[in-house]
Amino acid sequence: MPQSDTPPLVEIRGLRFSRGSRMIFDGVDLDIPRGKITAIMGPSGTGKTTLLKLIGGQLRPQAGSIRVDGKEVHKLSRDRLYALRKQMGLLFQSGALLTDLDVFENVAFPLREHTDLPETMLRDLVLMKLQAVGLRGARHLMPSELSGGMARRVALARAIALDPMMIMYDEPFTGQDPISMGVLVKLIRQLNDALGLSSIVVSHDVAETVAISDYVYLLSGGKVVAHGTPDELGGDQSEWARQFLEGLPDGPVPFHYQARDFAEDLMAGTEGGRE
């Protein structure tokens, strides 16, 4: 766990979660410190998106506790949970823009729902957020007219519209060209430092993520397999960390979804069995 005097913003203890018979998290302990950028990395399908949804209270763990800002997410009443969510921004992997509203209205949506700002002020705020992600000129486009990377940036503008205390980014870099990637990396850092936010970045883009994060957790097989500052992890000689950070095909992290032996599976076809 990262060392600090203030209590962590998110504190996860003994988290267990399964989908059907498949165990996704099997006793995860994890702290997200305040005011820092924490990266959560791990192979595809380990449950990074699931973890963000658990923190946001959209999924319920089978055991263990998740505290955000001292409040246990899954014991809050509905109203309190909603109040807490106003303080959390979640950037969905898919963007999740409202398809019947244009870019401007999408970013304005949380402001219209939760505040009574006069129209001129609302407009200024929205344009500021859009300017930050470089899409002020795209305000009249509908979500169907955006590229995947643009949609992600609009979603980012929307996630910061209410000035939350923390933002969770689910794969912010996928589908970005090198320029907007660079801008996004800087933006995440700036938002974090200038607004005093705390950020959680989930990503596969090892180099970019490690470069901006203050602390890194590596997840695999339902557990935290390594954690530390980027420097510590760089010096970490454990096989997990090496394999993931350097992108080696062979090692303890399996590339394949769990399955029975390949040869056995191929042979099963000759007996006409599909189970």
Partner 1 sequence: MLDGLQRLGQAGLRFFERLGRGHILFYYILAGIPSVLVRPRLLLQQVYSVGVLSLLIIVVSGLFVGMVLGLQGYNTLVDFGAEESLGTVVALSLVRELGPVVTALLFAGRAGSALTAEIGLMKATEQLSGMEMMAVDPIKRVLSPRFLAGFISMPLLAAIFSAVGVMGGYFVGVGLLGVDEGAYWSQIQASVDFDDDIINGVIKSLVFGVVAGWIAIYEGYDAIPTSEGVSRATTRTVVHTSLAVLGLDFILTALMFGEN
Ligand X SMILES: Nc1ncnc2c1ncn2[C@@H]1O[C@H](COP(=O)(O)OP(=O)(O)OP(=O)(O)O)[C@@H](O)[C@H]1O
Binding site for ligand X (CB under 6 A): 19, 24, 44-50, 93
Query: Helix, strand, or coil here: 198?
Result: strand
Instruction: Count the Cβ atoms, other than its own, within 10 Å of residue 55.
Output: 23
Strand order in the sheet with 88-91: 88-91, 166-170, 198-202, 37-41, 215-220, 223-228
**Going residue by residue from 99 to 118, which x/- string records binding to partner 1, judged by CB under 8 A?**
x---------xx--xx----
- Given Mg ion, partner 1, ligand X, none, residue 85, with its beta carbon under 5 to 8 Å by kind, binds partner 1
Q: Which of 7, 63, 82, 232 binds partner 1 (CB under 8 A)?
A: 82
Distance, CA of 202 to CA of 236 (rounded, Å): 20
- Can you say how many angstroms the Cα of residue 54 is from the centroid of all Cα atoms in its chain? 11
Q: Are 34 and 210 in contact (CB under 8 A)?
A: no
Q: Is 259 exposed, middle or buried (0-12, 13-18, 19+ CB in 10 A)?
A: exposed
Q: How far is the CB of 246 from Mg ion (least distance, A)?
A: 22
Q: How far is the CB of 139 from partner 1 (least distance, A)?
A: 19
8-state DSSP, 54: H
- Given Mg ion, ligand X, partner 1, none, residue 56, with its beta carbon under 5 to 8 Å by kind, binds partner 1
Number of residues that bind partner 1 (CB under 8 A): 22
Q: Are 1 and 32 in contact (CB under 8 A)?
A: no
Q: What are phi and psi of 19, to 5 degrees?
A: -110, 110
Q: Which of 36, 48, 67, 85 binds partner 1 (CB under 8 A)?
A: 85
Select 103 or 225, whichever has its Cβ closest to partner 1.
103
Q: How far is the CB of 238 from partner 1 (least distance, A)?
A: 34
Q: Which of 7, 62, 63, 94 binds partner 1 (CB under 8 A)?
A: 94
If binding is defined by CB under 8 A, does position 162 make contact with partner 1? yes
Distance, CA of 66 to CA of 69 (rounded, Å): 10
Residues that bind partner 1 (CB under 8 A): 53, 56, 58, 82-83, 85-86, 88-90, 92, 94, 96-99, 109-110, 113-114, 158, 162
